[in-house]
Structure 1
Amino acid sequence: MPTANVIRAALIQPTKRGEIFVLDRETGQPIKPVTEVAAPQGNLGPGERMSPTQPASLELPAFRGATLRESDMWGATPVDQMVCRILFRRSRYEGHLTPITLDKPVLIDPGSVGGVNWGIMVANWMRFPDRAELLTREEANGRKLKLSNGKTPGGDADRPMLNTPYDAYGGLFMSPLGIPCAAPPRGLIAAVDLSSGRLLWSKPLGTARDTGPFDIPSMLPLTVGTPVSGGAVTTRGGLVFVGASMDRTFRAIDAATGRELWQANLPRVGNSTPMTYRSPVSGRQFVVVAAGGKPSLSISLGTKLVAYALPR
């Protein structure tokens, strides 16, 4: 990347906290400043301690939502929205660095599926908090926690940490109807100018067409920003190709402006990172995406590789 008229080999590391760290690829030293910021403290139990600070990359955009508020809680009905608000008030939440402690359940935002997902510096990311609590071994044994089946969003509500003094119990912050308590959009895509650190554009990714309560498709083509799982690929010509969203759509986006230029329906959700190549035989450029679905997002599995190219 260009820095002060010098080209430096850089390593760009996105995190589940939604931050982007830019390091010198040869030395590991920060190219964009890294600052230690104060972190909330809490009760971890005997023999445990918390770091008073955490590293932060403050000169680049952070891909996480605004600090959660009780009034932000979401629901398909007034009843499940009320339950989300009650759960919010019964949880500890002091921003994105809130630690998990023995005192009470905590909200973790960005959650385990949130933060930056794959693509950078065009990044698709999620706003999807977790709600979790830390249990002593005695409490965990009393609940008879089970191993995750790997299919439930964010793992399972039961996650035993075998042969350790503690267990984490929790999962995605959802209403009784299985709808996220945090308001949409939940999946977004954005672009950053690394030289200036400026956010070029950001927009929701995915429509409500193939999602809805109880996994019933709403058939509404409204852009709501669905949960996303999968990366983006950017071409030298300035196109961003991305699947990832739950509406089974593959999109081409203008990297400079974020404007959608083209889309096509996939047989299943493109929960993968596309690739592009030029055929040595025909000289044509192809873009290929695996449309495999993802059970942990309640998406049925598929076995298709789908390729696209311009007309001859």
Structure 2
Amino acid sequence: MRILVLTAICLMSAISRVAAADPLDGNWAFYGGDAGGSRYSPLDQINKTNVTELKPAWELHTGDVSDGSDGRPKSEFEGTPIVVGGTMYLSTPFNRVLALDPETGTEKWNFDPKIDLKEHYSEGLVNRGVTFWSDLSGTDGGSCHQRIFLATIDARLFALDASTGRPCADFGVRGQIDLKEGITNIKRRGEYEETSAPAVIDDLVIVGSSIADNDRVNSPDGAVRAYDARSGMLRWSWHPIERALAPTGAGNVWSTISVDARRGLVFVPTGSASPDYHGVKRPGDNKWANSVVALSAKTGELVWGFQLVHHDLWDYDTAAQPVLATLRRDGRDTPVVIQGNKTGNLFILNRETGQPVFAVEERPVPKSDSEGEDAAPTQPFPLSPPVLAAQQLTAKDAWGINPEEREACRTRLERLRTDGIFTPPSVQGTVAFPGNLGGMNWSSGAFDQKRQIFVTNINNLPMEVHLIPRDQYKPVENAAQQGTLRAEVSPQHGTPYGMSREVLHSPLGFPCNPPPWGELVAVDLSNGSIRWRVPLGTTADMIKNPANIVRGTPNLGGPIVTAGGLTFIASAMDNYLRAFDTETGAELWRGRLPSGGQAMPATYLAGYNGKQFIVIAAGGHGKLGTNLGDSVIAYSLP
């Protein structure tokens, strides 16, 4: 056998029934590296002394890319491979699953769920990854004893034989489950989707959902559901919002779920209640939307919840995967959940109780001036760590590459409400800063346990948000559809207002706030301080005039950290994979990518001698506007 990666996963029943490989084996067994999403690898062959020698080892072209020109949505290659037992498993934007030799990139098998590539999916053509599960209850080696779970953009859950890619006939109906069944208020195709890898714990596979934003009050139910990993039978459901309290939907878990097998807990990051920018029909805090919630793995019952944003009016989803870690502080080890948010606030919570480890205070925030809106009077702010992203933008802060650009931005800002973070949307127009891209988005962060350093990428990107009175909405929608209005618009049916949002930009298209517009930030969790922050990426791939190049671009993807003292990340709008010194933030290496790297990398061992590889999907992102492609690239030392 050519791959020297240990395959003794089935011997781990003493730990859990989760298909979890010991990271020391050189696997990357889950989307987030481990079941708790730490994004950490103990591998150190590639380290600060030799990272400059990294070279491409292999490149695979999946063939799955769409630029939107033929009626299909644009593709977004956000997938991160997993590597288990000598095989790499990867999902493409077309939701196909590929099994590869991790040393060479040679295909072993592929599976095509045959989604409708011309359907109008609210999230575009995207899939972030798959999940491996091993059945530890029976005899090794049988068909579907080891399974790959895939949740597709058209809301189906597949169980595939990990060795062949064939659907497992005993799961659901011929290997699949229709996840739309049992969900209320689905009114059209493409508004209820799956974009993230399922979670597994014991003999359960757990999924949330992605639900179209801003369409109406009574959006589909945002239930989290657990299915029997063998049969596909529904075992439990948890609903983030009680419909008896408000006739609203969503609050859904569209990002990645984390699990703690030893404690029997499932950690879900919830999105906003529907619609995002007006809450007249959903009074109160709307618990448990915009929260991190711990559920019992056995029953799905609520163990604890912590709400990061009350009565969300800004699309401030809890989009980042909860990171489970052990905090070393005051001579004691405390199990914690590290939870970021699009606001740029970072919360450190006790994993068993949900209580803040660093103090959190409720502070007064601006009131709403829109009809019927009862905005939350206060919002939670952690006293430490400090806020990771900028939260205030006024006319005096206007930026431009020349005086004319700066003056145009200043004039635009003067017309808008700019009372700081949590300023409610208005008919006049409101600056939402950070905007709905974050702060922290689905990229999440990575935790180096030894160094007690948490690293994450953030966005400093303002949005201009308008509430549009119902009798004025249709002409605005028509203008957006015809391309004469650059803003994104949504009807918000059931409220007095539609809405529009767009990046607050200058005439030349530059954001109106001072750069950097994207950063990589390291937090020292031993004392709750910012260790370092650096601009992430440059605009050199988009702007040819060297005088106008800016450091720090908007970004989507995410970092990983390794025992070699390195943080690897692409994510920015230039086409590079970079390695940073985890302790200092110094950029030590960068490798050119053929397309945008809006995906989290992974690292693993492969080959006779157990060589360390770094792999990333480089296929760009249709919505972010980076170069599109279909590459998967692995790097190693010579």
Report the TM-score when normalising by structure 1: 0.88
- Confirm or deny: 8 A CA contact 2:401 2:548 kept in the other structure: no
Distance 2:478 2:507 in 1: 21
Distance 1:221 1:116 in 2: 26
SS of corresponding position for 2:531: strand
- Confirm or deny: 8 A CA contact 1:146 1:158 kept in the other structure: no
Q: CA deviation at 1:222?
A: 6.0
Distance 2:630 2:568 in 1: 20
- Confirm or deny: 8 A CA contact 2:337 2:348 kept in the other structure: yes
Q: CA deviation at 1:119?
A: 2.0
SS of corresponding position for 1:27: coil
Between the two proteins, what is the percent identity of the paired residues? 37
Q: 1:1-312, aligned counterparts within 5 Å?
A: 1-46=327-372, 48-65=373-390, 67-102=392-427, 104-117=428-441, 118-120=444-446, 121-144=454-477, 156-212=487-543, 217-218=544-545, 224-279=551-606, 281-311=608-638
- Structure 2 stretches of 5 or more lacking a match? 1-326, 447-453
Give deviations 1:232-266, integer Å, cap 9, x for gaps. Answer: 10112220001011221111111001111111111
Distance 2:591 2:625 in 1: 21
SS of corresponding position for 2:359: coil
State the one-letter code of the partner of 1:161: Q
Distance 1:222 1:286 in 2: 32
Greater Rg, structure 1 or structure 2? 2
Residues 55 and 146 of structure 1, relative CA distance in 2, 3 Å threshold: farther
State the one-letter code of the partner of 1:242: I
- Confirm or deny: 8 A CA contact 1:207 1:221 kept in the other structure: no
Name whichever of 125-134 and 139-148 sits farther off: 139-148
State the one-letter code of the partner of 1:36: E
- Confirm or deny: 8 A CA contact 2:577 2:591 kept in the other structure: yes
Aligned length: 301
- Confirm or deny: 8 A CA contact 2:489 2:498 kept in the other structure: no
- Confirm or deny: 8 A CA contact 1:126 1:188 kept in the other structure: yes
Residues 280 and 291 of structure 1, relative CA distance in 2, 3 Å threshold: same
- Structure 1 stretches of 5 or more lacking a match? none
Residues 156 and 281 of structure 1, relative CA distance in 2, 3 Å threshold: farther
Residues 142 and 262 of structure 1, relative CA distance in 2, 3 Å threshold: closer
Q: CA deviation at 1:281?
A: 4.2
- Confirm or deny: 8 A CA contact 1:210 1:218 kept in the other structure: no
SS of corresponding position for 1:83: helix
Name whichever of 193-202 and 108-117 sits farther off: 108-117
- Confirm or deny: 8 A CA contact 1:208 1:219 kept in the other structure: no
SS of corresponding position for 1:296: coil
Q: CA deviation at 1:159?
A: 2.2
Distance 2:615 2:477 in 1: 45
- Confirm or deny: 8 A CA contact 1:93 1:106 kept in the other structure: yes
Name whichever of 186-195 and 25-34 sits farther off: 25-34
Task: Give the structure, 1 or 2, with the largest relative contact order (CA under 8 Å, sep 6 or more).
Answer: 2
- Confirm or deny: 8 A CA contact 1:61 1:199 kept in the other structure: yes
Residues 300 and 32 of structure 1, relative CA distance in 2, 3 Å threshold: same
Residues 222 and 256 of structure 1, relative CA distance in 2, 3 Å threshold: farther
Residues 146 and 288 of structure 1, relative CA distance in 2, 3 Å threshold: farther
Residues 24 and 40 of structure 1, relative CA distance in 2, 3 Å threshold: same
Distance 2:337 2:547 in 1: 40
- Confirm or deny: 8 A CA contact 1:210 1:219 kept in the other structure: no
Distance 1:115 1:57 in 2: 15
Give deviations 1:260-303, integer Å, cap 9, x for gaps. Answer: 11111110121111111122643111111111111222222111
Residues 238 and 293 of structure 1, relative CA distance in 2, 3 Å threshold: same
Name whichever of 135-144 and 104-113 sits farther off: 135-144
Residues 250 and 6 of structure 1, relative CA distance in 2, 3 Å threshold: same
Distance 1:148 1:16 in 2: 28
Name whichever of 192-201 and 71-80 sits farther off: 71-80
- Confirm or deny: 8 A CA contact 1:140 1:167 kept in the other structure: yes
Distance 1:289 1:219 in 2: 29
Residues 219 and 306 of structure 1, relative CA distance in 2, 3 Å threshold: farther
Q: CA deviation at 1:77?
A: 4.3
Give deviations 1:41-83, integer Å, cap 9, x for gaps. Answer: 122313x311110011121121122632323322344433322
